[in-house]
Amino acid sequence: MVTLVGTESDIKDLVKNLLYLEHDAVAAYDSCIERLDSRELASQIAAFKEEHLQHVHVLIRMARELDVDASTEGDMKQMLTTGKTALAADRGYTQCGSDVEMSAVAQS
């Protein structure tokens, strides 16, 4: 999914948008984990999710320092991302997450 995050000229906007993006990623991983039959794969995907949760915590601290309202959930992209995961699962696709992360799971 295409994003313009990182093109902001203001640090406050950047932190706010990165926070939305991280919340979107966490929601997508939750959606994926719910649909996986393999507990082993779900555990590995959960590890990727934990990295994004760490990013959320860091970005919330940054938002407080910058006096920016820190979002507690994603934006409209979250519905698109989780919906895309749900549609893929309904059609029989077993792959969730990005191709890079799924290939890392397959190689471990």
What is the residue extent of each domain of the chain?
A: 11-107
pLDDT at 31: 86
Q: Give 16 or 75, the one with higher predicted confidence.
A: 16
Q: Which of 11, 31, 10, 9 is nearest to 77 (CA)?
A: 31
For residue 84 the two structure tokens come to 């895309």
Per-residue pLDDT band at 5 (split at 50, 70, 90): confident
| CATH code for the domain defined by 11-107 | 1.20.1260.10
**Is 16's pLDDT higher than 60?**
yes
How confident is the model over 34-92, as pLDDT tens digits?
A: 888 899 999 999 999 999 999 999 999 999 999 998 877 665 554 555 555 555 555 55
pLDDT, position 103: 42
Residue 14 CB neighbour total at 10 angstroms: 18
Q: Measured between alpha carbons, how far is 69 from 63 in angstroms, rounded to an integer?
A: 7
Higher pLDDT, 4 or 31: 31
Determine the residue type at 86.
Answer: A
